[in-house]
Amino acid sequence: MATATELAAGNPALQERIRASRRLLNRRAMVAAAASAVPVPGLDWAVDAALLSRLVPEINAQFGLTPQQLDLLPAHKREKVQKAVSVVGSMLIGKLITRDLILHMLRSLGVRMTAKQAARFVPFAGQAVAAMMGYAAVRYLGELHIRDCVDVVRQARLQLPAPPL
């Protein structure tokens, strides 16, 4: 499977949006790692859900794929985007992001998340492992979403909006 950077090869504007999205992703993943290290049951799930529910719309905005941005497109362009979204199979592009969607996304990593829960209760080393797993889980989901956004933009031949301030 190609990475977002590989998909955007030859398109400097798209590559810049990938870099900007990854900067957002790295910051959120660090917060997720810190929350994962705290041995309070359920705290990491709540933090991950909150982080991702804000991060996904920000990444969508980078690529012009928020519901509001898509509403401004002409009908034929909106149709192309919807076809590309269905081909890519993303349920987070062009939709209002709800807590349920984010929790569904997190459940797809269920085994890793369960291991992270158990690891936190082993003093020191377990908390470090849980933090690394928390970071990795958010990074993984974020990278998948960035790749999906790039794929949709390419398939729909969508023009990127002006960079957000």
Residue 80 exposed, middle or buried by CB count within 10 Å (0-12, 13-18, 19+): middle
Asked whether residue 90 is assigned to any structural domain, the reply reads yes
pLDDT for the residue numbered 1: 78
Asked whether residue 145 is assigned to any structural domain, the reply reads yes
pLDDT for the residue numbered 163: 77
pLDDT for the residue numbered 28: 95
Asked whether residue 59 is assigned to any structural domain, the reply reads yes
Asked whether residue 163 is assigned to any structural domain, the reply reads no
Tokens of 143: 């990278």
* Structural domains of the chain, count: 1
Q: What is the mean pLDDT of each run of 10 residues along the chain (165 residues)?
A: 89 95 96 86 82 92 94 93 88 75 68 55 72 88 94 93 76
pLDDT for the residue numbered 112: 54
pLDDT for the residue numbered 100: 74
> Which domain, by its residues, includes 70?
4-156
d(CA 122, CA 43): 17
Asked whether residue 165 is assigned to any structural domain, the reply reads no
pTM recorded for the entire structure = 0.84
Q: Which residue has the tokens 């987070």?
A: 92
